[in-house]
Amino acid sequence: MTAAGPGTVPATLDAGVLDELRALVGAEHVLTSDGDVEPFSRDATPLFRARPDAVVLPSTTEQVSAILTLATRRGIPVTPRGAGSNLAAATVPEHGGIVLVLTRMNAVLEVSGAELLAVVQAGATTAALADAAAAQGLLYAPDPGSRTVSTVAGNVAMCAGGLRGLKYGVTRNYVLGLEAVLPTGEVLRTGGRLWKDVAGYDLTRLLTGSEGTLAVITEVTVALLPLPASTGTGVAYFEHLADAGRAVARIIADGALPATLEFLDRRCINAVEDFAHLGLDREAGALLLFGDDGAPDVVATSLERMAGACTRLGARGVTLARDVAESDALLAARRCSLPALARLAPITMLEDVTVPRPKLAEMVDEIDRIAGRHDVVCATFGHAGDGNLHPTIVFDPADGDVRRRAEAAFDEVFRTAMRLGGTITGEHGVGAAKRPWLAARLGEDQLALLRRIKTAFDPAGILNPGKLGS
C-alpha cells in the first residue's frame, strides 16, 4: 500500500499530472475517484488488495508511450493490467500510482494463413484470437483456463499455460514478436514474423513472463498451426489421485504425447459436478481427463491406447466422449475447477507447483500428508501431463488461525516441490503471491541478475514496483 490513505492523492499524482493524463487519453479514460478505482484494486488472487491512485485506459501505443514517459519523469508507479484474471496478484498495485488498463486496445489486426501467424493488440482476449484463427482453419494452441476472459498480452506477460501444454507447450512457444513500450517511453519491436531470427538477445522471450516489470506489451505476433482435423476426449476414474498420476507416467513412458492429460481429485469432481451436471462419478477418488487431436484414425488409436493404459493401472471406469459437444463440455468443466471449488468455502487459495513428471504421484501423496499435518482442506487438480499441480486450500477466515495454517501448509508444499526438482509456479507467475519463495527457487546470483536486468529496462523503477526484479 502507498502511504496515502483513501481519498488522498500522493504528491507524485498531483493535479498537474492528472491534467496531463487527461489531455493524453481523454478525461473519461482517467479514473481517480475512490469508487472508480476500487474495482482495479484486485485481480483473481484472494487476500491481496491495494487501491491505485488513478486508472488510465489508453487506446494507442503512442498514448502508452506518453503515459510511461510522464510516469518515469515524475516517479509514478505504473502497474499494467489486462483483464485482471491472473492468480499471483501480479496486477495488484501495491505501491499505488497508476493502473494502466489495456482492454480498450483489443483489435485482432491480422490472421495470415500464408504465414501461419496472427497479430493482435494487447487487450484482445485469448478466445477472440483463437476464434479468429479457427475461422481460417488455424489453431492458436495455448489454452489457459481463463481464455474467454484473459487478454493475449496478459497471457504473454505471465507466460500462461493451459490444457494443451503437453503436446503444444505454453504461451512462450508461440510468441514470435512483440511491440512493447519501455518505461522511458521508447517503443520496441522485438522479433517479428519470422520463425528463424537470432539477431540479438531474445528479448521476446525475456519479456514473455516478465509480469509487467520490464515493459508494457502493446501488440503481439503469435504463431499459429493448422487446425487439427479432429479431437477426442476420454475420462478415467481412479480410487486415488496418485493412481491417476501413475497412469499419466505410464502413458508418457509408453511414448505417447497426447494434447491433454488433466486430473481432478474427489473434492474437485464434486464441485465441478455441482456446477456442470455432466454425470461425473462422484464416488471416484480421482478423474483423469485425456484427449488428443489430429487425423481421426490417429486420435482414435491414441485414445484407445490411453484408455488401455488407465484400465491396466486399475481405473474403476473409463469412458470416451461420444462427440465434440461432449468433449467440449468435459474440457469446459475442467477449466472451471478453481471457481467451482469456491462453492466449498469463502476463501479459495490456489497454488501452482510443478514437478518433473515421474515425481507427480509422489508430490500428490506429499500434498495429502502436508494438508493433514496442518489440518486444512485441500483439493487438488492440475495439468497432470505437465507435472503441474494446483493444490487449493479452501477455508473460512472466521475459522480461527486457519489462514496461518494454510500459509504454513503451502510453504511446505513449495519446499517439497523444490526438493523433488520442481518449481514454485508453473504457469500462474510469481507476482506478489509467490515472491517470498523466489529466492529459494532462483538463488542469490540469479536474483541479483534479475535486479540488474530490471534496472536496465526500468531505471526509475516505476513499472510494477515490488514485483520480479525489484
Partner 1 sequence: MSTDEQAPPGTPQATRGIFDPQLLSACISCGFCLPACPTYRLTLDERSSPRGRITLMRALEEGRLDEDDPTLQEQAAFCLGCRACETVCPAGVQYGRLLEQWRDHQWRGRHVPPLALGLRAGMRITPAFTVGGRLRGAARPTGAPSPLAPDGVRAHLMLGCAERVLYPQVSRAVLQLLPGVVDVPSGQGCCGAMHAHNGGSGAAHAMAEELGRRLPGLILTTAGGCGGHLAQVLGRDRVRELSEFLLEYWGEHPERIPPLRRLSRDGRALRVGLQDSCHLRNGLGVTAQPRELVARVAEYVELPSAGSCCGSAGTYSLLRPEDSQRVLDTHLDEIEAADLDHVVVVNPVCQRQLIGGLRRRRSRVTVLHLAELLALALRERAATDE
| Residues near partner 1 (CB under 8 A) | 1, 6, 31, 33-36, 38-44, 46-50, 57, 83-85, 94, 101, 103-104, 106, 123, 125, 127, 146, 148-149, 272, 274-276, 336, 338-340, 342-343, 346-348, 397-398, 407, 410-411, 432-433, 435-436
Q: What angle do CA 151, 154, 158 make, to 5 degrees?
A: 145
Q: In terms of CB distance, is 134 or 188 closer to partner 1?
A: 134
Closest distance between partner 1 and the C-beta of residue 379, in Å? 13
Give the three-state DSSP class for 434: coil
Nearest to 221 by CA among 188, 198, 189: 189
Closest distance between partner 1 and the C-beta of residue 435, in Å? 8
Q: What angle do CA 208, 63, 469 make, to 5 degrees?
A: 35
Q: In terms of CB distance, is 182 or 413 closer to partner 1?
A: 413
Closest distance between partner 1 and the C-beta of residue 200, in Å? 35
Cell of 336: 472451471
Q: In terms of CB distance, is 105 or 364 closer to partner 1?
A: 105
The answer to whether the beta carbons of residues 97 and 50 sit under 8 Å apart is no
Closest distance between partner 1 and the C-beta of residue 400, in Å? 11
Closest distance between partner 1 and the C-beta of residue 40, in Å? 6
Closest distance between partner 1 and the C-beta of residue 339, in Å? 4
Grid-cell match 517511453, residue found? 185
Closest distance between partner 1 and the C-beta of residue 241, in Å? 21
Q: In terms of CB distance, is 104 or 172 closer to partner 1?
A: 104
The answer to whether the beta carbons of residues 157 and 81 sit under 8 Å apart is no
Give the three-state DSSP class for 205: helix
Q: In terms of CB distance, is 49 or 172 closer to partner 1?
A: 49
User: What is the DSSP secondary-structure string of 71-121?
Assistant: HHHHT--EEEESSS--SSSTT--TT-SEEEE-TT---EEEEETTTTEEEEE
Q: What angle do CA 90, 60, 43 make, to 5 degrees?
A: 20
Q: In terms of CB distance, is 52 or 177 closer to partner 1?
A: 52
Grid-cell match 468455502, residue found? 345
Closest distance between partner 1 and the C-beta of residue 307, in Å? 27
The answer to whether the beta carbons of residues 5 and 50 sit under 8 Å apart is no
State the DSSP code for 70: H
Parallel/antiparallel/unpaired status of strands 260-265 and 230-238: unpaired
Closest distance between partner 1 and the C-beta of residue 381, in Å? 12
C-alpha pair distances (Å), 466 with each of 1, 73, 158, 196, 454: 11, 19, 16, 35, 11
Closest distance between partner 1 and the C-beta of residue 115, in Å? 29
The answer to whether the beta carbons of residues 377 and 393 sit under 8 Å apart is yes
DSSP H or E run through 250: helix 241-253
Q: In terms of CB distance, is 38 or 239 closer to partner 1?
A: 38
- Positive or negative, the CA dihedral 291, 295, 300, 306 is negative
Q: In terms of CB distance, is 84 or 258 closer to partner 1?
A: 84
Closest distance between partner 1 and the C-beta of residue 33, in Å? 6
The values of phi and psi at residue 386, to 5°, are -100, 5
- Positive or negative, the CA dihedral 100, 106, 109, 111 is positive
Q: In terms of CB distance, is 315 or 344 closer to partner 1?
A: 344
Q: In terms of CB distance, is 182 or 272 closer to partner 1?
A: 272
Closest distance between partner 1 and the C-beta of residue 316, in Å? 26
Q: In terms of CB distance, is 70 or 149 closer to partner 1?
A: 149
- Positive or negative, the CA dihedral 129, 292, 263, 223 is negative
- Positive or negative, the CA dihedral 4, 8, 9, 10 is negative
Residues in the chain: 470
State the DSSP code for 9: -
Q: In terms of CB distance, is 34 or 297 closer to partner 1?
A: 34
